[in-house]
Structure 1
Amino acid sequence: MERTAFGREGETLAKTYLEKKGYQFLDRNFRTAHGEIDLIMNDKGTLVFVEVKSRHNRRYGEPVEAVNPLKQKHIRYGARTYITKQRVEDRSIRFDVVEVMIHGSGEIKFRHTRNAF
């Protein structure tokens, strides 16, 4: 599977996973000059900016480790842009990471890190 398609599949799986946990979907692939935010969700009034990391294995480390300080900076910039464009006021925000591990056998595992950074 092409890398972009694999990433999009992981985002779709993460969206469904979070919705089953009670999150409300707001937006997907919000793009700015510095990158994109994979998912934007509402968790009981908190605006949650979600970075999704999809992998087949942990050969190159834990997926959450790929959300390094530079990536975090870009996500924060995107969040500020989203908040400004949507005129969001007086809401708590949070940055989460959802790891989607898709094994060759078809088994899918999730790891959700709230307040990841």
Structure 2
Amino acid sequence: MNGDKSIERIMRDLYFLYLFAFNQKIPLKPSTRGDFGEWIALRMLKKKGYQCIHRNWRSCSDRRMEIDLICVDRQCLVFVEVRSRSVDTMVSGWQSLMTKKKLKSLRRACMLYLFESKKDFNNHRLDVVEVDIPTKMNKKIDSFHHENIAILKT
């Protein structure tokens, strides 16, 4: 079963690499766009020296609680929320995150991960990666990394 998941992930990565390398029209299906955005974000974070320990982590106690990427940056545990948007949208990925409901959900997911994993990290933070995906060929994919986002009690 685990081998099937890794083969599926490799095939998906090759598909995204094909789209990216040959400037093919990027599919606009929301789930595919989200997967593609996470793939771009993961590549960017790895170039910065982050080590990914989980992709699409879900809580055992509440399956609705999800964290896109969980990484380690030096001695700090980093929860990463990836916001993928097509360039034509009116609201940026950063603005779409700034709702009380989404921030509360993110805070709860992070706390559940810390409780369930029992990993020994003194420091943790939330980062947001915005990925702007063009809808036309020959356009550059932009990504922005926002580090250490405060999740205030609301």
Q: 1:10 aligns with which of 26, 30, 37?
A: 37
Which of 82, 87, 90 is equivalent to 1:57?
A: 87
Structure showing greater radius of gyration is 2
User: Which residue of structure 2 aligns with residue 41 of structure 1?
Assistant: 71
Question: Residues 94 and 130 of structure 2 are in contact (CA less than 8 Å); yes or no, is this contact kept in structure 1?
Answer: yes
* Equivalent residue, structure 2, for 1:30: 57
Aligned residue number for residue 146 of structure 2: 113
Aligned to 1:95: 126
Describe how 1:71-86 pairs up with structure 2 within 5 A: 71-86=102-117
TM-score, normalization by structure 1: 0.91
Q: Which runs of 4+ in 1 moved over 6 A?
A: none
Q: Report the CA distance shift for 1:43/1:90 in structure 2 as closer, same or farther (over 3 A).
A: closer
Residue by residue, what CA displacement relative to the aligned partner does 1:39-69 show, whole Å, maximum 9, x if unpaired? 0010111111010001111532221111122
Task: Give, in whole Å, the separation in 2 of the partners of 1:90 and 1:50.
Answer: 16
> Aligned residues, how many?
117
Contact 2:55 2:67 in 1 (8 A): yes
Paired residue type of 2:80: V
Which amino acid in 1 is paired with 2:115? T
Match of 1:19 in 2: 46
* Structure in which a larger fraction of residues adopt helix: 2
What is the DSSP-based 3-state SS (H/G/I as helix, E as strand, rest coil) of the residue aligned with 1:60? coil
Deviations, residues 7-45 of structure 1 (Å, cap 9, x unaligned):
011101101110001101010111233431100010111
Q: Kindly provide the CA deviation profile for residues 53-106 of structure 1, in whole angstroms up to 9, marking residues without a partner as x.
A: 011115322211111222111111111111112112342010110001111234
Whole-Å Cα distance in 1 between the matches of residues 144 and 100 of structure 2? 20
Distance 1:109 1:90 in 2: 31
Q: In the alignment, does 2:101 pair up with 1:70? A: yes
Point out where structure 1 has 5 or more consecutive residues left out of the alignment.
none
Q: Residue 85 of structure 2 contacts residue 92 of structure 2 at CA under 8 Å; is this kept in 1? A: no
So what's the TM-score if we normalise by structure 2?
Answer: 0.70
Secondary structure of 1:11's counterpart equals helix
